[in-house]
Structure 1
Amino acid sequence: MTEDWDRPEGSWASSAARRRNMQAIRSRDTKPEQLVRKLVHARGLRYRVAAKPLPKVRRTADMVFRPAKVAVFIDGCYWHGCPEHYVPPKTNQGYWSEKVARNMARDRDTDDRLREAGWTVLRFWEHESPEASADRIVLTVASIRGAGDRG
């Protein structure tokens, strides 16, 4: 793009091309999410997609098993600060590093709120095996449902 691009007031983008690129990034229905959902669904579990586990809190989980009170998050390595794969940005470092730090703090706050409300929180990184993630989800939900049947 041209260098004389005027950044809109308050824009975080360093160029028009960067702005388009960042706006195209999905916040839901990512490939890792879809793979895990497909595997969990094939194993017979049903769930809500991109749902709010706590109605009064404006945060959504990637998968919600409401009766079992299990919330699943599949976090992107860049956006959530993966200790193995996060690479600090080369441009506009202050903004993006702060953004990722805020995301990480929000993730911890979300986990705390859900646990306080009696939910089980499962978090996976996008690089983790979809099969292993699905296995853990199925086992966790089955375990909670089984425990409820005995009580």
Structure 2
Amino acid sequence: MTLGIDPDRSRQMALIRSTDTKPEMTIRRLAHTLGYRFRLHRKDLPGRPDLVFPSRRAVIFVSGCWWHGHSCKRGARVPKTNATYWKAKIARNVERDAASLAALEATGWRALVIWECELKHVDDLTRRLREFLGPQSPS
């Protein structure tokens, strides 16, 4: 073990995806089914949003409750090991997310955050997407 890095933990962390996650894929399928077309992970936008709707100047972030400090049951869990590190890490994630949302708003973009725990309620999600994105473009 060098520099206090546990190789097993490092291997586990490397398996955690940041794009194309199950929650993100669920939202992508839903948005596409509803007739919305989008771009993915535009690096030139603050926070690198998961879904980008350029003509609507709208973006969607699909956030994991635990990783991004949501107030739900899953987001409130405290890890049993290395709790100090994880609390600080999640606090930094929350700060970074807020800064990204503010930067997007300052440049005229609208943003919607969809939490992992909200995926259980497809009807509510459908309504929120339609309200946020507006009517579909005629084909």
Give the shorter-chain TM-score range: 0.7 to 0.9
Is residue 59–residue 109 contact of structure 2 (8 Å, CA) maintained in 1? yes
Q: In structure 1, how many angstroms separate the alpha carbons of the residues matched to 2:126 and 2:110?
A: 15
The question of 1:27 aligning with 2:44 is answered no
Inter-CA distance 144–102: structure 2 relative to 1 (3 Å threshold): farther
| Equivalent in 17, 26, 31 of residue 8 of structure 2 | 17
Q: In structure 2, how many angstroms separate the alpha carbons of the residues matched to 1:45 and 1:70?
A: 12
Report sequence identity in percent.
37
The alignment partner of 2:31 has SS state of helix
User: Structure 2 length as normaliser, TM-score?
Assistant: 0.85
Q: Which residue pairs with 2:57 in the alignment?
A: 69
Q: Bigger shift: 125-134 or 107-116? A: 125-134
Is residue 63–residue 115 contact of structure 2 (8 Å, CA) maintained in 1? yes
Q: CA RMSD in A?
A: 2.1
Q: In structure 2, how many angstroms separate the alpha carbons of the residues matched to 1:89 and 1:136?
A: 32
- Cα distance, 1:52 vs structure 2: 3.3
1:72 partner letter:
I
The alignment partner of 2:30 has SS state of helix
Q: Which residue pairs with 1:123 in the alignment?
A: 113
- Larger Cα-atom Rg: 1
Gap runs ≥5 in structure 1: 1-5, 146-151
- Cα distance, 1:143 vs structure 2: 5.6
Is residue 63–residue 71 contact of structure 1 (8 Å, CA) maintained in 2? yes
| Equivalent in 117, 129, 133 of residue 141 of structure 1 | 133
User: Structure 1 length as normaliser, TM-score?
Assistant: 0.79
Which consecutive segments of 4 or more residues in structure 1 shift more than 6 A? none
Q: In structure 1, how many angstroms separate the alpha carbons of the residues matched to 2:39 and 2:127?
A: 18
Gap runs ≥5 in structure 2: none
1:61 partner letter:
P
Q: Bigger shift: 19-28 or 132-141? A: 132-141
1:74 partner letter:
V
- Cα distance, 1:92 vs structure 2: 1.4
Inter-CA distance 63–134: structure 2 relative to 1 (3 Å threshold): farther
